[in-house]
Structure 1
Amino acid sequence: MRWWDLDAVTALEHDLFPEDSWSRGMFWSELADTGHPAASRRYVVAETADGRRIVGYAGLAAVAGTGDVQTIAAARDHWGSGLGARLLTELLRTATAAECHEVLLEVRVDNPRAQRLYLRFGFEPIGVRKGYYQPGNVDALVMRLADPASTVPAGDPTGPDDVPGTEIHG
């Protein structure tokens, strides 16, 4: 993800998470800690092969051996396509390269689709953060993946239903 992606990313963010979307400033702050030798963040975008549309994005913080999924999202017309799995795989590869021994994330308790993805990758529920998502006072399920290096799929994690012509870029 680069600064010139932010208009498209924030538009997608507001569509997918209208009540608790990240601001442009929040993304800017995260991007400020990428692209240098001591960077603790990595953000990627998924775009159509022609580069005309961003259809997903994801970010990871990696500090002191722990990775934390900051955000992950796929455009509605790409739900069920395997794009979420491809984005998560990229984050787990990043965590492995950063020598993280675990990866954590929070997911809304009312988002079973995302929870199924994380369970498929080996994440396990470890707790609940009451009222984490605002407004709405929605709880977050905290999930943990021990040893991300052992769970990164070797081949294509998406399977045959992947949307052709979608590329992920750092």
Structure 2
Amino acid sequence: MPTPSEPVDEFDATSSTAADPVLPAGYSMRLLDWADLPAVHALENRLFPLDAWPLSFFEEELAQAVPEPDGGTRDYRVITGPVPGSASGTTATGTAVTGTAVTGTAVIDADRDAGAGEAADVVLGYCGLMCVPPLADVQTIAVAPEAEGHGLGTAMLLWMVAEAARRRATDLLLEVRADNPRAQRLYERHGFEHIHTRAGYYPGDASAQGAGGGRVDALIMRRRLVG
């Protein structure tokens, strides 16, 4: 059941764009801008050290995020706001939720990332949707570890569900690491089901390969948007 800070799972099918989700006070979700790419790419590298997207990949994706009437098939968003609980000299740890890349634990210097502390307006999450009806795909979804527990991941996921439906997709697909149960539980709570497994799709931790580690399966999950 959603917490009070999380959005409801609904959308306005008559709107030209899916309604922005309800976020905690002080946070907002908006279109990813070219000026956001350095911050997004830095967060990508911090969270997903084994298979982070290169900056050129984000640039290629954003170049396709033109208005839908002009043939755009992508939509990328960022969530910005203050770093929760930031204070001078403190650190935060956590595990990121993602639909496409390795999940990781990050340790951050809150002063470095927040700058002005609680008043800072920093990129705390980002997501990307590809839609070529009748299918849509979660390209990526990630939340800064220090911002977990505030409904930001849920907000982005539900926005992509709503936007995919508005774009007339009948199914929304995503990939998640088999060793990321936290993300799997998030997706299951919002109507996604496991439909296929890609064996050895993700790289594993090289340091663990000698002790039985190796590549990690990808679970393909689907949410029906009609019927």
TM-score (norm 2): 0.63
1:61 and 2:139 correspond: no
Q: How does 1:16-165 map to 2 (within 5 A)?
A: 16-36=47-67, 37-48=70-81, 52-134=121-203, 136-147=214-225
Q: Structure 2: how far apart are the matches of 1:98 and 1:51?
A: 34
For the Cα contact (< 8 Å) 2:133–2:167, is it kept in 1?
Answer: no
Return the offset for 1:35.
2.1
Q: Which amino acid aligns with 1:25?
A: S
Aligned residues: 149
For the residue of structure 1 that corresponds to 2:128, the secondary structure is strand
Q: Which amino acid aligns with 1:41?
A: R
Q: Structure 1: how far apart are the matches of 2:120 and 2:131?
A: 28
Q: Which amino acid aligns with 2:66?
A: G
Equivalent residue for 2:36? 5
For the Cα contact (< 8 Å) 2:176–2:218, is it kept in 1?
Answer: yes
For the residue of structure 2 that corresponds to 1:80, the secondary structure is coil
Return the offset for 1:51.
6.6
**Cα displacement string for residues 90-148 of structure 1 (whole angstroms, at most 9, x for unaligned residues):** 1112101110000000000111111111000000000111111135521101000011x
Q: Which amino acid aligns with 2:163?
A: T
Task: Provide structure 1 residue ranges, at least 5 long, that are not aligned to the other structure.
Answer: 151-170
For the residue of structure 1 that corresponds to 2:72, the secondary structure is coil
Off by >6 Å, runs of 4+ in structure 1: none
Q: Structure 1: how far apart are the matches of 2:60 and 2:202?
A: 20
For the Cα contact (< 8 Å) 2:133–2:170, is it kept in 1?
Answer: no
CA RMSD, 1 decimal: 1.6
Percent of aligned positions that are identical: 46
Task: Provide structure 2 residue ranges, at least 5 long, that are not aligned to the other structure.
Answer: 1-31, 83-118, 205-213
For the residue of structure 2 that corresponds to 1:115, the secondary structure is helix
Q: Structure 2: how far apart are the matches of 1:28 and 1:107?
A: 23
